[in-house]
Structure 1
Amino acid sequence: MRNVRRAAVTGAAVLGLSLFAGNAEATPGSGVEAVTLAGTTVDGRDYVLREITVQPGGGTGWHFHDGTLYAYVRQGNLSHFDASCASDGEYAAGATFVEPSGADHVHIGRNLGDRPLVLDVLYVLPAGSPLSEDAPNPGCPFE
């Protein structure tokens, strides 16, 4: 049961670190690799578990999610920023966090450390929704 809970929390992680470029103003991610570990649809919701690796200096690009994400930091450190350009969380190995849904929750995840960041993320989305929606940089001095 502990592993199932950990996988669920891990899966939702930040980071909706999905890297699909949308429009010309979107900020594509860099240094990010994702592997889908499992997925199912139940009662109109998609549940997708992914392992996301962000290389040192890499980031997700600005984005948001149509559903809630639950994440677990397996290795490294995640620096998470909201649309006000403020840090809304620093997460070290062993930490969990939740990313709320909606276009009013635009964010970026960055690996400012010197070793790969590995996240387990559970996406809980309306059935058929993309894993993330790209967003333009809201005016922050970094991408």
Structure 2
Amino acid sequence: MKRIGLSGRSGFLAASAVAVVLAGVASVATASPAHDLTAVTTAEGRFVAPHDLKVRNVTDVVEQTLTIQPGGDTGWHIHPGLVVLTVQKGTIVRRNADCTEEVFPAGTSFIKQGSVPLNGVNEGSEPVELHLTYLKPKGTPLRYEREAPKYCDFD
């Protein structure tokens, strides 16, 4: 058997070319499709405006589905950390303690963060289904109850 040796720059280039080809083959060879896997998308929405998310001290993630019957509401509250909400069915009206209201129909997502209390209200004739992902500090509850503002006229 005759050995061929490459040295210097040509040896380096040849070895590099072989390494690139082998890396390409290895990455193709190690890829594999999922097997015995079921993925269910439970909600999908789009933010009404882009967000740059910044949260601190987040350790816990909790997911929850809320159903609010017609005429029902969440009660006045705030959240520690950040909550991403997606409206799967119906329309939710978010009443804020600064006396503003925001309307989010099915297919929209929004974020709740901060210390301004809110109350989510179903003013429609069908149940509202919300999917929530809470990002919160360790040991904190999902929400803190608050008094309804006395100076807003929502009715």
- Could you list the per-position Cα deviations for residues 32-57 of structure 1 after superposition, in whole angstroms to 9, with x for gaps in the alignment? xxxxxxxxxxx851100000000000
Q: Structure 1, unaligned stretches of length 5 or more?
A: 10-42
Distance 1:72 1:5 in 2: 7
More strand by share: 1
Task: Please tell me whether residue 115 in structure 1 is matched to residue 126 in structure 2.
Answer: yes
Q: CA deviation at 1:142?
A: 5.0
Larger Rg: 2
- Could you list the per-position Cα deviations for residues 98-129 of structure 1 after superposition, in whole angstroms to 9, with x for gaps in the alignment? 0013x3x2111000000000000000010111
**Higher RCO (CA < 8 A, seq sep 6+):** 1
TM-score (norm 1): 0.66
Partner of 1:46: 60
Q: How many residues align?
A: 106
Task: Please tell me whether residue 64 in structure 1 is matched to residue 96 in structure 2.
Answer: no
Q: Which runs of 4+ in 1 moved over 6 A?
A: none
Q: Which amino acid aligns with 2:142?
A: L
- 1:79-118 mapped onto 2 (5 Å cutoff): 79-87=93-101, 89-101=102-114, 103=115, 105-118=116-129
